[in-house]
Amino acid sequence: MSTTKTIQSALISVFSKDGLEPIVRKLHEQNVTLYSTGGTEDFIKNLGIPVVPVEDITSFPEILGGRVKTLHPKIFGGILNRQDNESDVQQMKEFDIPQIDLVIVDLYPFEKTVASGASEQDIIEKIDIGGISLIRAGAKNFKDTVIVASVNEYSLLLDLITKQNGATTLENRRLLATKAFHVSSHYDGAIFNYFNTDETIYKESIADGQVLRYGENPHQKGFFFGDFDAMFKKVHGKELSYNNLLDVDAAVNLINEFKTDGPTFAILKHNNACGLASRKTISEAYLAALACDPTSAFGGVLIANTKIDVTTAEEINKLFCEVVIAPSYDEEAITILQEKKNRIILIQNEVELPTRQVRTCLNGLLIQDRNNITDTKEHLKTVTITEPTAEEIEDLIFASKICKNTKSNTIVFAKNGTLISSGTGQTSRVDALVQAVDKAKAFGFDLTGASMASDAFFPFPDCVELAKKAGITAVIQPGGSIKDELSINYCNENNLAMVFTGTRHFKH
């Protein structure tokens, strides 16, 4: 039996009629018998095209307010029968079941209804029963049946039946079946997640994915699954790479810590801040952030918490950077930044980030709540005789926000609303501190009067000893070591102010 089949009959039952008219007209032109229900049936009739109501086949009306329309053996028999199976062929004749070659479905918009904040009653009514059953039946029997399971596939179907004069190949039908099972599994996943309260069960289905040029390295394949366009408007530049996306993610998480602060600018490299400053204007903040580490800033990701103006854009344009992100730009600022052909320019939208973070681990996944605690003045507990000044408290909070978003082990030095230096991703906290001191010296920064943040407690007084020698006058850390008193005693003996937050900020 030939694997190429010509469509002679079609069942159409859809929620969205957008793009349906040309399909219906083309099918009618090709003498295809059309079957339909409810609103879709009225839509086809209004086009002046003949359509057979489903109840004419089933001899049974729609019932329960339209909840039951197509759920009938004469409908599903017409879809599921195997045309090369003699028993199926005989039963089709015996029970007078019409052949259905094409099924077009578009499900009730369950996810959109949930997102709209509708009542539970409205949400429940948007759980499609007949449609999802038609999709599964058509997809299961793809050897004989064409299934179109979403308005997203209307154009593909129209293209196929137009170019192939109503005929489809086995490859065409298998492709559409694959898309149909994607629709049904995604739909069921969304329904489950609406009802689920068991945090030990995890289901995720992301419909929109894109192929990246490559992964972390050119020999690795890379993909992004998510709605990038919801988060950003890309106004210029090349396609974002896997590494670009990781840096953009880190940049967004970091700048969110300063969302309600004054003009703040951050420069990131390999997911860590290499420059960050808060100033009266965004141009001043940018120049101060750049001065933190102009070497690392080369090829980095830049992000601002407020509009980028012309003055700032002119300064940025002197630097080679991969990505620039801001909530808005002066029109002329965009023109200036576009002078570099490949520079990616993003406008960041107000979008709520996921409440959970997911990463692969061994042969499974690790899932955790997002770290939503940002240290504030209210969290601080002074544990030393010397209390931090108002200015030091501001710098301690500033340094803590950066520390939270830097790879552990980490130490961050800050002074006057500026990142002076940091030690990142070290295997010991002492190494992180030494790295931060050396880096500050390399760029000519004076650490006298600077504040220090640590992402975790000090088990020994060695870190505060080194900090004191470097000129640090105030320290912020979570506390919680059984040997906290060793560090506290050293600070008391050497006039260092130290505050505990009670919250550790590891970032692995």
Distance (Å, rounded) from C-alpha 355 to C-alpha 368?
Answer: 9
Burial 360-370 (b: 16+ CB within 10 A, else e): eeeeeeeeeee
For 210, phi then psi, to 5°, come to -135, 145
Distance (Å, rounded) from C-alpha 506 to C-alpha 421?
Answer: 18
Q: Are 451 and 413 in contact (CB under 8 A)?
A: yes
Q: Write out the two tokens for 500.
A: 């505990």
Q: Catalytic one among 140, 186, 307, 379? A: 140
Distance (Å, rounded) from C-alpha 60 to C-alpha 492?
Answer: 87
Half-sphere exposure of 70 (CA within 13 A, CB side): 29
Q: Angle at CA 353, nearest 5°, toward 126 and 360?
A: 95
Q: Catalytic one among 26, 143, 236, 270? A: 270
> How many other CB atoms are there within 10 angstroms of residue 15's CB atom?
17
**CA distances in angstroms from 103 to 93, 176, 432, listed in the order given:** 21, 11, 63
Residue 397 Ramachandran class (φ > 0 left, ψ -120 to 50 alpha, else beta): alpha
Residue 270 annotated to the active site: yes
Distance (Å, rounded) from C-alpha 121 to C-alpha 423?
Answer: 54
Distance (Å, rounded) from C-alpha 382 to C-alpha 221?
Answer: 50
Name the H helices within 445-495.
Answer: 462-470, 484-493
Distance (Å, rounded) from C-alpha 485 to C-alpha 252?
Answer: 37
Q: Angle at CA 179, nearest 5°, toward 158 and 89?
A: 80
E strand spans, 107-263: 146-148, 167-168, 209-211, 223-225, 232-236
Amino acid at 289: A
For 257, phi then psi, to 5°, come to -65, -25
Q: Would you say how long the chain is, in residues?
A: 508
Q: Are 184 and 175 in contact (CB under 8 A)?
A: no
> How many other CB atoms are there within 10 angstroms of residue 244's CB atom?
18
Distance (Å, rounded) from C-alpha 486 to C-alpha 459?
Answer: 8
**Catalytic (active-site) positions:** 140, 270
